[in-house]
Amino acid sequence: KNQVEQSPQSLIILEGKNCTLQCNYTVSPFSNLRWYKQDTGRGPVSLTIMTFSENTKSNGRYTATLDADTKQSSLHITASQLSDSASYICVVTARGYGQNFVFGPGTRLSVLP
Amino acid sequence: DTEVTQTPKHLVMGMTNKKSLKCEQHMGHRAMYWYKQKAKKPPELMFVYSYEKLSINESVPSRFSPECPNSSLLNLHLHALQPEDSALYLCASSQDYELAGGNEQFFGPGTRLTVL
């Protein structure tokens, strides 16, 4: 069964600190992996998208890594800001005909002053 | 324009009401999606339209009726909803459905629906 797991479920850090969120998946055959940021009550916004051959991708203070062998991804946030408080969702897409977006449960990040 | 818009932002309706949610994109995307999201849960896929034709219906109750009048618009008609249908309804689009794996989904801001 295609599944995406994320850890931790929630995280609280102080402003300016770094943090790393984890995503493990069993989706097969793998096409790509996306990290989304979702503010409460708003739609998800894409941070990064990674295909099988990509190991690292950055978007400002966000850096995603992908290990396709172990089926793990991480999202590292550097020098956190209060505006980083949100849910971060890992979405893995299976390759093949049509839609097969598998959503993780998300990690709720709270950045405190 | 890389934006997906949704109206209204908030909607409160009774169980006997009929209402509609609207979604619009002008990115030339040919795939459009409706998701339902409960608090602290990931979005759940409801419907997928590809080239204005319904491609996926994830066993959604008939009280939800999607409509795609043209390639830029997607509606969700609501009738006789239940309180448990209260949720955030998200619309998304992508360039192509059959190539969904290679394309990015753009999400709208959502409609917060409350059924009394």
Give, for all 116 residues of chain B, the pLDDT tens digit.
Answer: 669 999 999 999 998 889 999 999 999 999 999 999 998 889 999 999 989 999 888 889 999 999 999 999 999 999 999 999 999 999 999 887 766 455 678 999 999 999 99
Quick check: A48 contacting B, CB < 8 Å?
no
Quote the CA–CA distance of A72 and A24 in Å, as a whole number: 5
> Do the strands B64-70 and A4-7 form a parallel or antiparallel pair, or are they unpaired?
unpaired
Q: Which two tokens stand for residue A30?
A: 């793998």
Closest CA to A83 of A39, A41, A47: A39
Cα dihedral across residues A41, A43, A45, A50: positive or negative: positive
For residue A35, the distance in angstroms to the closest alpha carbon of chain B comes to 11
Distances in Å between the alpha carbon of B20 and those of B29, B32, B33, B113?
22, 16, 15, 11
pLDDT digits (tens, 9 = 90+) for A10-43: 999 999 999 999 999 998 888 889 999 999 888 9
Q: Which amino acid is at A107?
A: T
Quick check: B58 contacting A, CB < 8 Å?
no
Least CB–CB distance from B112: residue in A36, A41, A100: A41
